[in-house]
């Protein structure tokens, strides 16, 4: 087998994403800020117990904790440590392997479900975690999310002899697909919307790529990575950078509220 084929096969599946709370705050603080409208859809009330699924560094979890009792879970030990630094009840747990049993009035999730590639396991775990008539409220990347960014990454990888098509770490479903998955697990969907949300970045797209694109970057040898990032940035400049110099990630979000049927 050729060295080139070895390289392609070694890069045929996405690598696990590693998270740095410091990098996340620098390059992705907008995630929590843009998740605030989701709290209005959740409508938490005092006395409720809520699970924050994929709590990250706990910025939104902290806001919920001022209203009701909240437990945060995240697969990243580093992010959980960041959430615990706020004094929050947070623990390391995969969203695809939840272990709760009818403990929560609601499950809340912002910008996390698209990192969980087995959605049926996630929904089953949420169903098990909820009390009867409990609600599931979330927002995450939907069909078409960051399409331009993904295309630029895969094109540049292809120029380097690497097949990037299988490297995406994300699950971006269409509304009908995800509605069907929810209904199959006993949820009644009360609200669901797919919408474009071009999102301004705090700097150029490089910081975004370094924070969220690890599965693509890890396919590139260390000594080539800076050149790779530069090439992807310049390919994206005429696509997602405005004349004012502001870079806008081409986000498409899927937001929903569902209730567990009796």
Of 22-36, 57-71, 132-146, 171-185, least confident by mean pLDDT is 22-36
* 8 Å CB contact between 80 and 74: yes
Rounded to 10 degrees, the C-alpha dihedral 86/89/94/99 comes to 180
Per-residue pLDDT tens over the stretch 82-114: 899 989 999 999 999 999 999 999 999 999 999
Of 22-26, 158-162, 200-204, least confident by mean pLDDT is 22-26
Query: In the prediction, which pLDDT does 22 show?
Result: 58
Whole-prediction pTM = 0.87
Q: Confidence band (pLDDT; 50, 70, 90) for 12? A: very low
Tokens of 30: 């907008």
Of 25-39, 181-195, 229-243, least confident by mean pLDDT is 25-39
What integer best gives the mean pLDDT of the chain? 89
Mean pLDDT, range 35-60, rounded to an integer: 91
The pLDDT of residue 62 is above 80: yes
Per-residue pLDDT tens over the stretch 161-206: 999 989 999 999 999 999 999 999 999 999 999 999 999 998 899 9
């Amino acid at each position: 087998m050729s060295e080139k084929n070895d390289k392609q096969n070694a890069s045929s599946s996405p690598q696990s994403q590693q998270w740095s709370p410091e990098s996340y705050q620098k390059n992705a603080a907008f995630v929590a800020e843009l998740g605030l409208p989701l709290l209005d859809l959740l409508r938490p009330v005092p006395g409720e117990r809520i699970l924050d699924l994929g709590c990250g560094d706990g910025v939104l979890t902290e806001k919920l904790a001022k209203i009701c009792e909240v437990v945060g879970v995240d697969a990243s030990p580093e992010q959980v440590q960041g959430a615990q630094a706020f004094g929050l009840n947070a623990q390391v747990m995969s969203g695809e392997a939840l272990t709760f049993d009818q403990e929560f009035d609601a499950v809340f999730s912002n910008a996390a479900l698209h990192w969980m590639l087995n959605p049926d396991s996630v929904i089953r775990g949420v169903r098990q975690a909820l009390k009867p008539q409990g609600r599931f409220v979330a927002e995450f990347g939907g069909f078409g999310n960051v399409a331009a960014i993904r295309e630029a990454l895969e094109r540049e990888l292809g120029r380097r002899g690497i097949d990037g098509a299988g490297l995406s770490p994300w699950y971006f479903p269409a509304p009908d697909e995800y509605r069907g998955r929810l209904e199959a697990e006993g949820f009644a969907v009360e609200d669901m919307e797919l919408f474009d949300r071009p999102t301004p970045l705090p700097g150029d797209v490089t910081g975004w790529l370094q924070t969220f694109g690890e599965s693509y970057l890890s396919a590139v040898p260390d000594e080539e990575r800076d050149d790779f990032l530069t090439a992807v940035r310049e390919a994206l400049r005429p696509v997602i950078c405005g004349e004012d110099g502001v870079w806008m990630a081409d986000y498409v979000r899927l937001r929903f509220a569902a209730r567990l049927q009796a």
